[in-house]
Structure 1
Amino acid sequence: MNISEIVALGLWPESKKTTNKKGLPELENLGYNLFYIGKNADLYTCPGNEPKVLLVRSDRCSVFDIPLNLEIEGKGIYQTSISNNGAEFAKKSGIKTAILDEKIDDSLDISPRCQVMELCKPLEAEIDGDIVQFEFIFRNYLTGSLYEACQNGKDPYGLELAPNLKQWYKFETPIFTPTTKGVKDEPLNSTEVRKRFPEIISNLEKLFKDFTVFAEENGIIVVDTKFEIFINSKGEWVLGDEVLTPESSRFIAKKDFEAQNYISMDKQILRNFAKDNSWKEQAKSLEAGQKLDVIVPDSIKNEILSGYSTIQNSLIK
């Protein structure tokens, strides 16, 4: 299936620019054709007529939606492995993901970075007169942007949390803090989104609770996670490719957490470095398609890879 057929199915947004560049020869020679270059992964059309694509993860990095000239060797392989594991965990909970069981030839050098995906479109709905996409976020602890909002007397999700809660307060049951997905993620009223998507939210909440228990039993504290929902060609809702991974979740080693040493083992490491070096300010001068030139010491890169490795070794059984 070629890109024009994909667009005709309504499963690819015209706003996302495709590419005419050739992909990796070992894939192109087998009939997989590169059509989209993302911040962290590339997409190829697949041979045949089924609505599916091949996702190939790179070692490229981005943070705060800023494309970077940074690569961390091996990150994409870890990420793919953890993503496959998250999808399998979801499957056991009865939740379908866009990741298909089909694999490419494992003798190919690129195979550890590949996932065959069902082609889907993002879940959309009208909110306050605008058609928006969603990020469904569940939190076990009060920290990050929600803690800052509470400190400032704000209630962005309509949760009516007690005003005197301390940072790292553990919620009795995970709280749901949905946002729109876009250039700027806008908080949405938790109760209203639950009413709109009751089946989806209840299933995701159970998945998050079950995974939290599983992870803690294996030495990992799950602080929060983000789910992105898509609609496939049959009209069914499915989870995207980032299912319970370091790209969509915040993980802390249990031994560190219990020592109140809240060292993140995920993308937060790079976010913290970005904040310290004012990458957001630097990125304001970028032109469309331009990447931010950054210098990241090996110590930071190794810390990120060590976190990914720990997560993989702890959660994949």
Structure 2
Amino acid sequence: MNISEIIELGLWPQSKKTTSEKGISELEELGYNLFYIGKNADLYTCPGKDAKVLLVRSDRCSVFDIPLNLEIEGKGVSQTAISNSGAAFAREAGIATAILEEQIDQSLSVAPRCQLMELCKPLEAEIDGEVVQFEFIFRNYLTGSLYEACQNGNDPYGLELSSDLKQWHKFETPIFTPTTKGVKDIPLNTAKVREVFPEIISSLEKLFKDFTQFALDNGIVIVDTKFEAFVNAKGEWILGDEILTPESSRFIASEDFDKGEFISMDKQILRDFGKENNWKEKAKALKAGEKLEVEVPDSIKNTILAGYSRIHTSLSK
């Protein structure tokens, strides 16, 4: 299936710019054709007529939605392995995923960075008179933007949380804080979204609880996670490609968490380094398609890779 057929079926947003560049030669020679270059991964059409694509993760890096000239060798392979594990955990819980169990030829050098994915449409529904797409977010702890909202007396999700709650307060049971999916994620009323998707949210809540306990048993604290739901050609809801991974969740080593060192085992260390070096301000001068030129110490790269490695080793069944 080529990209024009994919667009005609409504399985690819016309707003996303495609490319005519050639991709990795060993894939192109087998009939996989590059059609989209993302910040951290690329997409290829697949030979045949099935509605699926090939996702190929790169070693490229981005933070704050800023594309960087930085590559961390081995990051793409680690992220793919973690993504496969997260998808497998969801499937064992009876939840379908866009990530297919089918694999490309494993003798290809690029195979460890590849996932075959079912093409699907974002899940949509009308909330308060507006049709929106969703991010289903579950939290074990009060931190980040929600903590700031509580401190300021705001109640973006209608949860009526006390302003007296301390940062890193652990909720007795995970709380659900849905947002819209878009350029800017807008908080939605929790009760209203539950009314629209009771079965989906119940399934995801259980998945999050089970994964939280599994991770804790293996030395990792799950702070929160974000699920993105889609609809496949059969009209069934399925999860997307980032399921229980560092791209969708916050992982903290238990020994760090217990010491009050809330350092995420992902690219948070890169975000912090970027803040220290004013990357957001520097990025304002970038032209369309340009990457921010940065210099990052090997110590930071190695810490990021070590975090990914521990997550994969600890949380792969």
TM-score by length of 2: 0.97
CA distance in 2, matches of 1:129, 1:63: 33
Give how far 1:29 is off: 0.5
Q: Could you tell me which amino acid in structure 2 is paired with residue 38 of structure 1? A: G
CA distance in 1, matches of 2:126, 2:293: 38
Deviations 1:137-188 (A, max 9, x none): 1100011111111111111111111111111110000011111122211111
Equivalent residue runs for 1:105-120 within 5 Å: 105-120=105-120
Residue 57 (1) aligns with residue 53 (2) = no
Greater Cα shift, 209-218 or 289-298: 289-298
Q: Is the Cα–Cα contact under 8 Å of residues 215 and 222 in structure 1 kept in the other structure?
A: yes
The aligned counterpart of 1:45 is 45
The aligned counterpart of 1:219 is 219
Q: Could you tell me which amino acid in structure 1 is paired with residue 158 of structure 2? A: G
Deviations 1:20-60 (A, max 9, x none): 01111100001111111111110001111100000000011
The aligned counterpart of 1:70 is 70
The aligned counterpart of 1:137 is 137
Q: Is the Cα–Cα contact under 8 Å of residues 127 and 192 in structure 2 kept in the other structure?
A: no
Greater Cα shift, 184-193 or 82-91: 184-193
The aligned counterpart of 1:160 is 160
Deviations 1:235-285 (A, max 9, x none): 111111100001111001111111222221013222222222222222233
The aligned counterpart of 1:303 is 303
Q: What SS does structure 2 have at the residue aligned with 1:20? A: coil
Residue 274 (1) aligns with residue 274 (2) = yes
CA distance in 1, matches of 2:185, 2:161: 21
Name the Cα RMSD after superposition: 1.2
Greater Cα shift, 89-98 or 176-185: 176-185
Give how far 1:16 is off: 0.7
The aligned counterpart of 1:149 is 149
Q: Could you tell me which amino acid in structure 1 is paired with residue 230 of structure 2? A: F
Q: Could you tell me which amino acid in structure 1 is paired with residue 111 of structure 2? A: S
Q: Could you tell me which amino acid in structure 1 is paired with residue 65 of structure 2? A: D
Give how far 1:72 is off: 1.0
Cα separation, partners in 2 of 1:286 and 1:123, compared to 1, 3 Å: farther
State the identity %: 77
CA distance in 2, matches of 1:235, 1:246: 29
Give how far 1:129 is off: 4.4
Q: Is the Cα–Cα contact under 8 Å of residues 250 and 268 in structure 1 kept in the other structure?
A: no
Greater Cα shift, 101-110 or 293-302: 293-302
Q: Is the Cα–Cα contact under 8 Å of residues 139 and 175 in structure 1 kept in the other structure?
A: yes
Moved over 4 A (4+): none
Equivalent residue runs for 1:200-279 within 5 Å: 200-279=200-279
The aligned counterpart of 1:189 is 189
Matched residues, number: 317
CA distance in 2, matches of 1:199, 1:96: 14
Q: Could you tell me which amino acid in structure 1 is paired with residue 283 of structure 2? A: A
Q: Which runs of 5+ in 1 are unaligned?
A: none
Q: Is the Cα–Cα contact under 8 Å of residues 249 and 266 in structure 1 kept in the other structure?
A: no
Give how far 1:128 is off: 4.1
Q: Could you tell me which amino acid in structure 2 is paired with residue 256 of structure 1? A: D
TM-score by length of 1: 0.97
Give how far 1:289 is off: 2.2
Residue 291 (1) aligns with residue 291 (2) = yes
